[in-house]
Amino acid sequence: ESAVAPSTGTVTIVASGRVLVRSLPGQAGNILGFVNNGDVFTLLEQSADGAWFKIDFGATGGWISANLAELSQ
């Protein structure tokens, strides 16, 4: 999934454990690091299918599964 839709808002992590942050939307993306339940980030982009959020993580941002986060506009 390479097409993305520009988005705005805040993403709050709502997972019981660590959430992987990836370089690309999808499980094929390299793991850049981890975030935890309750962490809050600015939303940079959203995948075209809505399944992945790009958050302000590190120098270039990173992708997390939308199932593990809550979006606030």
1 pLDDT more than 80: no
2 pLDDT more than 60: no
Mean pLDDT of the chain: 92
Give the predicted TM-score (pTM) of the model: 0.88
- Let me know how long the chain is: 73
